[in-house]
Structure 1
Amino acid sequence: MSSLVDRVAARRSWSKVTGDAPDHAELARLVAAAGRVADHSGLEPWRLIELRGAARERLGAALAEAAEHEKPSSKPLRAPLLIAIVACRRESHKVPDWEQDAVTAGVAHMLSLLLADAGWGVMWRTGSLVRAEPVRRMHELADNEELLGWLYVGGIPENTKDKPGHDRSIDPERFLTVVDR
């Protein structure tokens, strides 16, 4: 069995997925694990919205309204499961909004790694309409909430399972600064 480092290093985004997706029970198990990210003061400043079926069509209509297009966007139909990533900013004198957003992003990224490790294709998508009012309404966001994007989740197409992902290895020395003085 490969190590966690090897599995994370092999992670890639899947822009095309099949119609298969994890069921709610599998997703809930992975969300429980993803929620273990570092969280200053334990505020849990995040939530996820599971979008399947007609909810994806409603999102397409909201995206079209936001872009002032007549025809609904088909983008939400690219995957059978979309997971909306929502930062829920809590009142705190110790934890600023940016740190709460970082926790939310950490949960989303951890969930994407867990989904990938479970054999699902995942891509985190955003765009200029993420914060548009029709999109906010569709997700029923509260005043203290901001949408950070969606995880698009589905099966990995058979003809690509054995193909390596994009080679995204990095030179860690470009990004790792040593201060020992």
Structure 2
Amino acid sequence: MNAIEALVTRKSVARLTEPAPGSEDLEIMMKAAIRAPDHCRLRPWRFLVVEGAAREKLGEIFMEALKLRDPEAGDPLLQKEKNKPLRAPMVIVVIAKVEEHPKVPAVEQILSAGAAAQNMMLAAHALGYGGIWRSGKPCFDPNVKRALGAREVDQIVGFLYLGTAERPPILSDESPDEYVEMWNG
């Protein structure tokens, strides 16, 4: 698949199954990720690849964090939180490693990590995999960050759920016209 085709046909896919990207495809995806725009070459990203039983451990982290955020959360909600990482055979946690820098504010570093995540999603799509970028409260939960080895200043920009689409996504014929305008000052 060429780059333009990948860009205009990528769509989030929530229903994922085996196989997940193998080691060769994962290496290609990571090479794409680190080509993201990066002011001053800070490399403000960290990627955690979560597969197999490690997904259950990630689910435990999500569940324990929810218990701390909401002590009133009932068993069905806790179980749902625990099962989230099991919705795909692979989850990649994208963390922005934010550093104090005189030329590159934190927001640029977080955007750079986000661009790396998008490059990874596009590469996965081009290689024939499906995926969805999930965020939500676990991204901003200090207990989740700590359990994943992120510092307080770091930011989890997303959890990339990857695998094979159970069924091909249906693309809409949405036009960019409603989002674009020519600005002439």
TM-score range, shorter chain: 0.7 to 0.9
Matched, 1:12 2:11: yes
User: SS of the residue aligned with 2:110?
Assistant: helix
Q: Pick from 134, 143, 159: which aligns with 2:152?
A: 143
**Distance across 1 between alignment mates of 2:160 and 2:15:** 13
> Partner of 1:38 in structure 2?
37
Structure 1: 4+ residue segments shifted above 4 A: 69-72
Q: How far does residue 177 in structure 1 lie from its aligned partner after superposition?
A: 2.8
Mapping for residues 1-181 of structure 1, pairs under 5 Å: 3-68=2-67, 71-72=78-79, 73-157=82-166, 160-161=167-168, 164-167=169-172, 169-180=173-184
Q: Quick check: 2:28–2:123 contact (8 Å CA) kept in 1?
A: no
Q: How far does residue 3 in structure 1 lie from its aligned partner after superposition?
A: 4.7
Query: 1:16 is matched by which residue type in structure 2?
Result: R
**Distance across 1 between alignment mates of 2:23 and 2:152:** 27
Q: Quick check: 2:25–2:127 contact (8 Å CA) kept in 1?
A: no
Q: Report the RMSD for the aligned CA atoms in angstroms.
A: 1.9
TM-score (norm 2): 0.85
Q: Which runs of 5+ in 1 are unaligned?
A: none
**Distance across 2 between alignment mates of 1:29 and 1:57:** 26
Q: Which runs of 5+ in 2 are unaligned?
A: 68-72
TM-score (norm 1): 0.87
**Identity score, percent:** 30
User: SS of the residue aligned with 1:111?
Assistant: helix
Larger % of helix: which? 2
Query: 1:153 is matched by which residue type in structure 2?
Result: L
**Distance across 1 between alignment mates of 2:143 and 2:100:** 26
Q: Quick check: 2:39–2:104 contact (8 Å CA) kept in 1?
A: yes
**Distance across 2 between alignment mates of 1:60 and 1:124:** 17
Query: 1:118 is matched by which residue type in structure 2?
Result: L
Cα deviation code 1:86-109 (max 9, x no counterpart): 000122100100111110100001
Q: Quick check: 1:34–1:107 contact (8 Å CA) kept in 2?
A: yes
> Partner of 2:70 in structure 1?
none
User: SS of the residue aligned with 1:33?
Assistant: helix
**Distance across 2 between alignment mates of 1:23 and 1:39:** 27
Query: 2:129 is matched by which residue type in structure 1?
Result: W
Equivalent pairs, count:
175
Q: How far does residue 134 in structure 1 lie from its aligned partner after superposition?
A: 2.7
Q: How far does residue 180 in structure 1 lie from its aligned partner after superposition?
A: 4.2
**Distance across 1 between alignment mates of 2:88 and 2:108:** 30
